[in-house]
């Protein structure tokens, strides 16, 4: 397995060491997760570009409606105050 040198800020390094965390494993998981996230963002962008090519750009009214729906969904998912 190839090796790579990684630099961490002092505070992050201290937290990893204080908790006896497996730094290499954590970094591998974080890099895999970020690569997957970027792949998904790229796929979403390509999908949206295809939709725009097929049906055109959304109107301001369409955007406003979508924003209202998104806000409604987000408010349902927001943690309830205790």
Regarding predicted confidence, which is higher, 38 or 76?
38
Number of domains in the chain: 1
- 27 contacts 6 by C-beta, under 8 angstroms: yes
Q: How far apart are CA 13 and CA 74, in angstroms?
A: 35
Domain presence at residue 5? no
pTM of the predicted model over 0.85: no
Flag whether 47 is in a domain: yes
Question: pLDDT digit string (tens) for 18-51?
Answer: 999 999 999 999 999 999 999 999 999 999 999 9
Q: What are 5-20's pLDDT values in tens digits?
A: 999 999 999 999 999 9
Token output for 75: 């408010």
Q: What is the domain extent for residue 54? A: 10-77
Residues 6 or more apart in contact with residue 27 via CB below 8 angstroms: 6
Whether the CB-CB separation of 69 and 61 falls below 8 Å is answered with: no
pLDDT score recorded for residue 77: 78
Structure confidence at residue 80 (pLDDT):
63
**82 lies in a domain?**
no
Asked, for residue 63, whether it belongs to a domain, the answer is yes
Q: Tokens for 47?
A: 């999908």
């Amino acid at each position: 397995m190839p090796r790579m040198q990684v630099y961490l800020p002092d505070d992050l390094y201290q937290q990893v060491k204080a908790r006896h965390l497996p730094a290499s494993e954590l970094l591998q998981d974080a890099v895999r997760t970020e690569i997957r996230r970027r792949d998904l963002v790229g796929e979403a962008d390509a999908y949206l570009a295809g939709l725009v090519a097929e049906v055109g750009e959304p109107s301001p009214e369409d955007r406003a409606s979508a924003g209202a729906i998104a806000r409604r969904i987000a408010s349902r998912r927001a943690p309830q105050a205790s």
